[in-house]
């Protein structure tokens, strides 16, 4: 049936209306049904070994646009609607965004599902169906306020499956109900699945705020993504969540293994479990337990599992490495404790070094240690990150199992992060080099041939300008802030964390503010744009948001500064805002303290859209710098080896914030936090707490790199004025972004770790 007829049939059945008579919301649900109908017919790819990608987060973003593209009907649907006087992008606005993730790790999982499907590999995601995704962020009184995000609707991408597993907890059981989201492949007529588990009887929505009864496990276990872990009950609930996810997921694996005609002792030949950070690590003892229930001996069960599971590490921040009290696990899943103790005993036989034990003397279970001993692969997510894991963080493990360690530099799906979010740039690229880069992303390098083509460079600038104008309209509609699209768009979008150093960017804003006040204007007007959510219990991160919002307010009210410098913080930054903002960015801020950002993935998305990176040599920035060359990136700051030395208690050169504070320039910038101008718009206690922290502690060394950062950023703004030379930098960045396609990353996972076909 033709698309037009199919759509008409659906709107008739559902609303007794022709598509022409439908509103955007009705058209959205009709297109959702149409997409589901077309996807349903697609079989899963079938090969010998099947991948299960276990992750506590899948930050999918809206699905309609993506799925229309994957099904190859995006253009047709857009045209069809246009003929009816409808605008597809307005229809897409009606879709709620499923925000089932916090940031990089969850979005990476979503990019991976897209690439696994695109490459025709057999691989499904396994996670939880949170009823409330990441909180919705509002700004009130220059502060972040959190409200719940109920994203589920009657018409949604979730497909009921009828599959239910029983998860045994200490003292009670829960049914895990499975719903799926289909992941259609962009290039073959197949679809994979994201499996999301939920309880049978979820709790009623909270009356207000984001608080809920954390002891009502039976109803609340899937309510919230990562509930606040600042109190004991929250942490315990997180362990309940994790066990619920992995037990149901492990049961699904064994059920499918049996359905495919294989015996439990053939698991490793037919399934691979990729453990996305340590949140799903209990899948290891759970699979061992279930295999033993099916008659395998402990030795056999462990033998299968250690050839099935592989672990990805996403962080070297000690506070993010999960260690759970064995007492928690004893309460949540007592059947796992004898297995974990046995795994610890065996690991202690492999090495007498207590640093690599699973259970420590405080009764804590080191989840990553369990993954490394009982998984066959350990990977970091960028070259530098993997090197730091091998040389420092996981040194003792690397000595023990060098063959397990490998690097898989992250990537992003260029289907969402270029084709879908930036059709104008995509058309320009296609016009130059054709369409082959979609399946062979390294072919983007063909663009390098246009480095001296004034016409192409001019069109590149025009595409960027149009994206900036479009973004200005969207921001004004949402927040009433009218920006100047002629200014340099300097963009820092990522979760708010001290190590990512948004505070250092705020100090740059203060520097420019003071200069302009003193009559010294920049080469070009600059707009510093932020998008960031702070974890509700992360006090210092909230103080930094407060500072940024105060600076925004101060400058908005200052007619002398406003024409030259603006600050704009996007409210409720999420995947949808990222898709609007990334095409509009001129400068990509990647300024984490070297050694702290495992990889970063926003850096890759921004680069692919022609933003030039201003960054430290951290995470994947190092690889970006190597690829584009020094003329096409602005780097600054202490290198990771020096930073690691500065943290070393034994080292001679320990970092002391005060040493860097006491320079005439830095002191003035930091002390501006307590200036009458800022105190007039801000909360004195919050500003003072931040001032004290930066001056006296500055754990992530913003003051160490501050002066060089400001100098290099000034240089970038000056160079922006040379439009053609800047356009060439943009072109080189786009041309080299092919390496950061997640299709490349997934090919490498498959070749080195998964061996699916």
Residues that bind ligand 26Q (CB under 6 A): 102-105, 108, 226, 229, 277, 314-315, 320, 322, 381, 410, 597-601, 619
- Looking up tokens 């799903």, which residue turns up? 280
Q: Within 10 A of 171 (CB to CB), how many other CB atoms are there? A: 8
Write the DSSP string, 605-649: HHHHTTPEEEE-S-TTHHHHHHHH-GGG-EE-S--HHHHHHHH-T
Minimal distance in Å, beta carbon 701 to ligand 26Q?
17
Three-state secondary structure call for residue 311: strand
Provide the 8-state DSSP code for 96: P
Concerning whether 601 is annotated as a catalytic residue, the answer is: yes
Choice between 130 and 513, CB closer to ligand 26Q: 130
Minimal distance in Å, beta carbon 144 to ligand 26Q?
18
Choice between 113 and 554, CB closer to ligand 26Q: 113
Choice between 282 and 516, CB closer to ligand 26Q: 282
Concerning whether 219 is annotated as a catalytic residue, the answer is: no
Choice between 506 and 535, CB closer to ligand 26Q: 535
**CB closest to ligand 26Q, residue no:** 104
Q: Which of 74, 464, 500, 512 is catalytic?
A: 500
Choice between 58 and 660, CB closer to ligand 26Q: 58
Concerning whether 78 is annotated as a catalytic residue, the answer is: no
Minimal distance in Å, beta carbon 364 to ligand 26Q?
12
Minimal distance in Å, beta carbon 295 to ligand 26Q?
35
Compute the distance between CA of residue 561 and CA of residue 471 in angstroms, rounded to an integer. Answer: 22
Choice between 11 and 242, CB closer to ligand 26Q: 242
Closest listed residue to residue 496, CA positions, set 144, 220, 28 = 144
Compute the distance between CA of residue 224 and CA of residue 211 in angstroms, rounded to an integer. Answer: 10
Minimal distance in Å, beta carbon 277 to ligand 26Q?
6
Concerning whether 605 is annotated as a catalytic residue, the answer is: yes
Tabulate helix, strand, coil % of the chain (nearest 5): 55, 15, 30
The sign one gets for the Cα dihedral 232, 237, 243, 245 is negative
Tell me the three-class secondary structure of 24-46, residue by residue: HHHHHHHHHHHHHHHHHCCCCCC
Choice between 191 and 633, CB closer to ligand 26Q: 633
Task: Sort 178 into a burial class: Cβ within 10 Å, 0-12 / 13-18 / 19+.
Answer: buried
**Burial profile 128-166: b = 16 or more Cβ within 10 angstroms, e = fewer:** bbbbbbbbbbebeebbbebebbebbeeebbbeeeebebe
- Looking up tokens 């990222």, which residue turns up? 578
Compute the distance between CA of residue 352 and CA of residue 106 in angstroms, rounded to an integer. Answer: 36
Compute the distance between CA of residue 22 and CA of residue 63 in angstroms, rounded to an integer. Answer: 20
CB neighbours of 219 closer than 8 A, spacing ≥ 6?
Answer: 199, 201, 202, 203
Concerning whether 494 is annotated as a catalytic residue, the answer is: yes
CB half-sphere exposure, 736, CA atoms < 13 A: 24
Minimal distance in Å, beta carbon 289 to ligand 26Q?
23
Choice between 11 and 102, CB closer to ligand 26Q: 102
Beta bridge partners of 147: 136
Choice between 164 and 320, CB closer to ligand 26Q: 320
Closest listed residue to residue 522, CA positions, set 720, 709, 714, 716 = 714
Compute the distance between CA of residue 205 and CA of residue 8 in angstroms, rounded to an integer. Answer: 35
Minimal distance in Å, beta carbon 506 to ligand 26Q?
20
Write the DSSP string, 144-206: EEEE--B---SS-S-EEEEEEEEEEETTEEEEEEEEEEEEE-SSSS-EEEEEEEEESSPPPPP
Q: Within 10 A of 318 (CB to CB), how many other CB atoms are there? A: 8
Q: Which of 601, 616, 635, 745 is catalytic?
A: 601
Asked whether the beta carbons of 380 and 407 are under 8 A apart, the reply is yes
The sign one gets for the Cα dihedral 547, 553, 558, 559 is positive
Minimal distance in Å, beta carbon 115 to ligand 26Q?
14
Closest listed residue to residue 590, CA positions, set 712, 744, 707 = 712
Compute the distance between CA of residue 589 and CA of residue 503 in angstroms, rounded to an integer. Answer: 12
Asked whether the beta carbons of 611 and 588 are under 8 A apart, the reply is yes
CB neighbours of 189 closer than 8 A, spacing ≥ 6?
Answer: 42, 43
Choice between 315 and 572, CB closer to ligand 26Q: 315
Minimal distance in Å, beta carbon 501 to ligand 26Q?
13
Concerning whether 665 is annotated as a catalytic residue, the answer is: no
Q: Which of 314, 497, 695, 713 is catalytic?
A: 314
Minimal distance in Å, beta carbon 321 to ligand 26Q?
7
Choice between 59 and 633, CB closer to ligand 26Q: 59
Choice between 368 and 710, CB closer to ligand 26Q: 368
Q: Which of 366, 605, 695, 736 is catalytic?
A: 605
Compute the distance between CA of residue 287 and CA of residue 482 in angstroms, rounded to an integer. Answer: 55
Minimal distance in Å, beta carbon 741 to ligand 26Q?
15
Minimal distance in Å, beta carbon 497 to ligand 26Q?
8
| Residues carrying an active site annotation | 314, 494-495, 500, 601, 605
């Amino acid at each position: 049936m033709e698309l037009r007829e199919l759509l008409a049939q659906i709107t008739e059945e559902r609303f007794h209306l022709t598509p022409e008579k439908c509103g955007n919301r009705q058209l959205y649900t009709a297109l959702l049904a149409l997409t589901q109908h077309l996807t349903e017919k697609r079989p899963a790819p079938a090969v010998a070994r099947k991948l299960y990608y276990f992750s506590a987060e899948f930050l999918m973003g809206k699905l309609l646009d993506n799925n229309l593209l994957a099904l190859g009907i995006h253009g047709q649907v857009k045209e069809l609607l246009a003929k009816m006087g409808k605008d597809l992008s307005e229809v897409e606005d009606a879709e709620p965004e499923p925000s089932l993730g916090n940031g990089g790790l969850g979005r990476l999982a979503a990019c991976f599902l897209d690439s696994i499907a695109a490459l025709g590999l057999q691989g499904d995601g396994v996670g939880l169906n949170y009823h409330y995704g990441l909180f919705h962020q509002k700004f009130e009184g220059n502060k972040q306020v959190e409200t719940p995000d109920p994203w589920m609707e009657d018409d949604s991408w979730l497909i009921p499956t009828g599959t239910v597993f029983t998860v045994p907890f200490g003292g009670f059981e829960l049914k895990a109900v499975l719903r799926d989201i289909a992941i259609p492949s962009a290039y073959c007529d197949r679809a994979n699945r994201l499996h999301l588990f939920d309880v049978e009887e979820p709790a009623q929505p909270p009356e207000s705020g984001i608080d809920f009864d954390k002891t009502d496990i039976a109803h609340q276990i899937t309510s919230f993504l990562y509930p606040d872990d600042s109190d004991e009950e929250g942490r315990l609930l997180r362990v309940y969540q994790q066990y619920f996810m992995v037990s149901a997921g492990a049961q699904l694996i064994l059920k499918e293994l049996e359905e495919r005609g294989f015996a439990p002792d053939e698991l490793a030949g037919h399934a691979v479990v990729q453990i996305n950070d340590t949140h799903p690590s209990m899948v290891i003892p759970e699979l061992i337990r279930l295999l033993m229930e099916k008659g395998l001996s402990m030795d056999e069960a462990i033998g299968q599992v250690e050839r099935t599971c592989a672990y990805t590490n996403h962080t070297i921040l000690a506070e993010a490495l999960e260690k759970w009290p064995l007492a928690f696990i004893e309460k949540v899943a007592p059947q796992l404790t004898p297995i974990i103790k046995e795994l610890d005993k065996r690991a202690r036989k492999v090495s007498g070094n207590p640093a690599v034990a699973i259970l420590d003397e405080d009764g804590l279970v080191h989840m990553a240690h369990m993954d490394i001993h009982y998984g066959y692969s350990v990977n970091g997510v960028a070259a530098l990150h993997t090197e730091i894991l091998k040389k420092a963080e996981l040194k003792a493990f690397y000595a023990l199992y060098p063959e397990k360690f490998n690097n898989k530099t992250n990537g992003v799906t260029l289907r969402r992060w270029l084709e879908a979010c930036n059709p104008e740039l995509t058309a320009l690229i296609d016009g130059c080099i054709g369409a082959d880069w979609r399946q062979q992303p390294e072919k983007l390098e063909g663009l390098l041939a246009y480095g001296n083509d004034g016409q192409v460079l001019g069109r590149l600038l025009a595409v960027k300008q149009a994206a900036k104008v479009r973004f200005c309209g969207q921001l004004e509609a949402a927040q009433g802030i009218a920006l100047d699209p002629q200014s340099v768009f300097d963009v820092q979008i990522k979760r708010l964390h001290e190590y990512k150093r948004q505070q250092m960017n705020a100090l740059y804003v203060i520097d420019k503010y003071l200069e302009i006040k003193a009559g010294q204007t920049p080469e070009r007007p600059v707009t510093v744009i932020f998008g960031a959510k702070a974890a509700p219990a992360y006090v210092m991160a909230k103080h930094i948001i407060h500072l940024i919002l105060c600076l925004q307010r101060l400058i908005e009210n200052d007619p002398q500064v406003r024409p030259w410098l603006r600050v704009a913080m996007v409210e409720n930054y999420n995947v949808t805002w990222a898709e609007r903002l990334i095409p509009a960015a001129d400068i990509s801020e990647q300024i984490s303290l070297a050694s702290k950002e495992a990889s970063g993935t926003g850096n890759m998305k921004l680069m692919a859209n022609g933003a030039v990176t201003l960054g430290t040599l951290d995470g994947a920035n190092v690889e970006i710098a190597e690829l584009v060359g020094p003329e096409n990136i602005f780097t600054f700051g202490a290198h990771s080896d020096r930073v690691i030395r500065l943290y070393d208690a034994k080292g001679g050169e320990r970092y002391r914030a005060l040493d860097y504070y006491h320079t005439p320039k830095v002191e003035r910038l930091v002390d501006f936090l307590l200036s009458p101008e800022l105190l007039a718009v801000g909360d004195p206690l919050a500003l003072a707490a931040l001032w004290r922290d930066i001056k006296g502690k500055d754990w992530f060394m913003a003051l160490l790199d501050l002066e060089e950062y400001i100098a290099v950023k000034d240089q970038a703004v000056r160079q922006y004025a040379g439009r053609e030379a800047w356009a060439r930098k943009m072109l080189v960045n786009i041309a080299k972004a092919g390496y950061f396609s997640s299709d490349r990353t997934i090919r490498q996972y498959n070749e080195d770790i998964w061996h699916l076909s």
